A and B are shown apart, each in its own frame.
Chain A
Amino acid sequence: MEYFIELFLSGLTRGSIYALIALGYTMVYGIIQLINFAHGEIYMIGAFVAYIVCGVMTIYGFHGVSVLIIAGMLAIIYSCAYGYTLEKVAYRPLRGAPRLSPLISAIGMSIFLQNYVLLAQTSDFLPFPALIPDFEFMEPVAHIIGSAELVILITTLVTMILLTLLIKYTKIGKAMRATQQDMSMARLVGINVDQVISVTFIIGSALAAIGGVLVASYIGQVNFYIGFLAGVKAFTAAVLGGIGSVPGAVIGGLVLGLTESFAAGYISSDYEDVFAFGLLVLILILRPSGIMGRTTKQKV
């Protein structure tokens, strides 16, 4: 039973990170039907910025939680700036173009950002400081759930609640939902659609940056390539949950994380990905639009 709980918690931790990143994919897709392949890179940039800030702050003698908060803040700001610029440079000029053009542009941006970080920073694996301290009160259960996992779970939970509130009750949230339902109609009733799209990218990037900082601090290393695999998994989670649906991305992420964890724990970690993608195929056969997907008219 303890083994089950351990696997469950590790799956939940992994799944909540997938969910954070998947939200970025799904929100963008929901509004402009674009799969933003460069999203994984935004996550990587968030982790890198936090790494650099940590290095600088450590030199000036700051410690622990203060570093985590400031590094996290700066990572979010930087990632948001990247997300905003990305949309402005790579996607907005292609707004009226056929669907395939922005998709290719997204893949191009992904490759560009990866190589940019590779050249501007390094191809090496860099040691990311363990920003999340080991809490005293966690010691008796440290072998089941660590402090880092606890922080990840709480942070993602809080972030998701805030996101839900934002979408449900704020003006911009309403505008986002309206744009998602019908872009030209939203424009007719006076919503600045371009602004809404920019905000969507900014929110998605902020979520990715939070995920990036949490993961980097959890596994203790960053590299220019970490965005790729995380991006693929998060995209899978978004599709699994029903791309375009916000609660779907969360559920998809958790389901994917738990499936991987249990597959590795009870069967074999050789087959971790086999089960994760097998599940995806199965769900898409049974529910072609994902777990929470809406079966609206085909837009693609």
Chain B
Amino acid sequence: MKRFSTLLTVLVAVLGLASPSLAADTIKLGVAGPHSGDLAPYGIPAMKAAQLVVKKVNAAGGVLGKQVELLIQDDQCKPEIATNTATKLVTQGVNVVLGHICSGATKAAMGIYKDAKIPVMSPSATNPGLTQSGDYPNFFRTIASDDMQAKIAVDFAIEKLGAKKIAVIHDKGDYGKGFAEFAKKFADESDKVEVVLFEGVTPGAMDYSSIIQKVRREKADVLIFGGYHPEASKLVSQMKRKRMKTAFLSDDGVKDPTFIKVAGAAAEGAYMTGPRDLSSIPLNAAATAEFKAAYGEDPGAFFQEGYSAALALLNAIEKAGSTDYAAVTKALQSQYVDTPVGQIKFDNKGDAEGVGFSVYQVKDGKFIEQK
């Protein structure tokens, strides 16, 4: 009896193994991300984007004459589950992977993909180390990394504003301080500019005149502020009151209509980084319309990025002429592809060039993108 049950188990297992090998001649696109649990809203739009893209590509004859097959796996954004997910996808024989969604889960899974030589593209993992550490040559992403805003801000201060001395102030919060620390790092790395002040202020404090005086004493050309609009409004109005000419440059926490409303005239001329305006990209409108037609609602977070990643991956296989790892990677780095986030290719670290943030300036009560 015992032997019989063992046999049954083996039979069941064999049947389970059989299905992938039967459908051998397809291009396998893995999709991994949170599709259940509280973070599912971050993963499902990218998954749906992949489904839309695959459907469209297959209807048009597939890639390299083969149909594209989707292998969808849920990682719940948990690193420990993500390694299982990755192993599963690898054993199923994926050619490329769209995912993962959360930076932590992505990092955990990357080692497995790296050993298996599978290109991975995330629509949402913004942790700078994923690309900059150089540990994961098979990693790509269609979203800007966390430090991109700070990089753009510092470059703008140096090149466009001609800054020699920069004061960096933050609100001590995760977001603001993170931005400020990256800004300081990039400014320190550049020899054209000196960071003369790096300090935090208490959000909600009655006034910031002491720190403003300090900025003036240090003769900073540009004040970079990491934080949100309430403190930014106070800073710009107090700078105006002190008759200071120092340029104000901040992050997308300040690119909020309330900033202009509250700071009024003092907001005029202030600079801030913000996500690039995608509304003028035709593919973006098309992808959104496609989603609406299929699901009857607005796409959620990371839909555009997910759509772009699916397009970029399949395009790279097409251009490479095979699913060979080296050829696909090379295609990703050398061939431009039109996507909802713009025309992109990837740099040798895996970040998409031309994706992400722009600098805006307040002019006549509006945010104007600086080209």
Contacts and interface: CB of A to CB of B under 8 A. Distances in A.
Nearest to A10: B209
Nearest to B201: A269
A266 to B, nearest CB: 9
Given A221-B230, A221-B233, A269-B200, A125 B262 contact: yes
Interface in B188-226: 199-202, 204-211, 213-214, 216-217
Nearest to B169: A269
B160 interface: no
Interface stretch (A79-87, A109-117, A202-210, A224-232): A224-232
B207 A143 contact: no
A261 interface: yes
Contact of B230 (A125, A142, A143, A269): A125
Interface residues of B, number: 34
A6 B264 CA distance: 25
Given A143-B243, A225-B204, A219 B213 contact: no
Given A3-B213, A265-B213, A148 B241 contact: yes
B88 interface: no
B241 A265 contact: no
A124 interface: yes
A142 B238 CA distance: 11
B233 A215 contact: no
A225 B172 CA distance: 19
Given A127-B261, A221-B262, A270-B172, A142 B243 contact: yes
B237 interface: yes
A220 B206 contact: no
A10 B210 contact: yes
Interface string B151-168: 000000000000000000
Contact of A125 (B209, B217, B238, B258): B258
Given A124-B258, A126-B262, A215-B206, A268 B199 contact: yes
Mostly helix, strand, loop or mixed at chain A's interface?
Answer: helix
Contacts of B261: 127
Mostly helix, strand, loop or mixed at chain B's interface?
Answer: helix
A264 B207 contact: no
A277 to B, nearest CB: 12
Nearest to B200: A270
A140 B272 CA distance: 31
Interface in A95-148: 124-127, 142-143, 146, 148
Determine which residue in B233, B258, B261, B262 has the highest number of CB atoms from chain A within 10 A of its CB, and name it. Answer: B262
Given A143-B243, A223-B230, A269 B210 contact: yes
Contact of A3 (B217, B229, B230): B217
A241 interface: no
Contacts of B213: 3, 6-7, 10, 265
Nearest to A273: B202
A142 to B, nearest CB: 5
A128 to B, nearest CB: 8
B329 to A, nearest CB: 44
A39 interface: no
B56 interface: no
A13 interface: yes
A260 interface: yes
Contacts of B216: 143
A221 B213 CA distance: 21
Interface in B227-253: 229-230, 233-234, 237-238, 241-244
Interface string A262-292: 1011001110110000000000000000000
A7 B211 CA distance: 9
Contacts of A126: 262
A10 B199 contact: no
Contacts of B204: 225-226, 228-229
A17 interface: yes
B64 interface: no
A126 B21 CA distance: 64
Contacts of A125: 229-230, 233, 258, 262
Contacts of A273: 202
B263 interface: yes
A261 B202 CA distance: 13
B254 to A, nearest CB: 12
Determine which residue in A10, A143, A229 has the highest number of CB atoms from chain B within 10 A of its CB, and name it. Answer: A10
B243 to A, nearest CB: 5
A17 B206 contact: yes
Nearest to B234: A219
Interface string B64-103: 0000000000000000000000000000000000000000
14 contacts: A3-B217, A14-B207, A143-B216, A146-B242, A220-B263, A221-B230, A221-B233, A221-B262, A226-B204, A260-B210, A264-B210, A265-B213, A269-B211, A272-B205
Given A221-B262, A265-B211, 8 more contacts: A6-B213, A125-B258, A219-B206, A219-B207, A220-B234, A260-B210, A270-B199, A272-B202
Interface of A: 3, 6-7, 10-11, 13-14, 17, 124-127, 142-143, 146, 148, 215, 218-221, 223, 225-226, 228-230, 233, 260-262, 264-265, 268-270, 272-273
Interface of B: 169, 172, 199-202, 204-211, 213-214, 216-217, 229-230, 233-234, 237-238, 241-244, 258, 261-264, 266
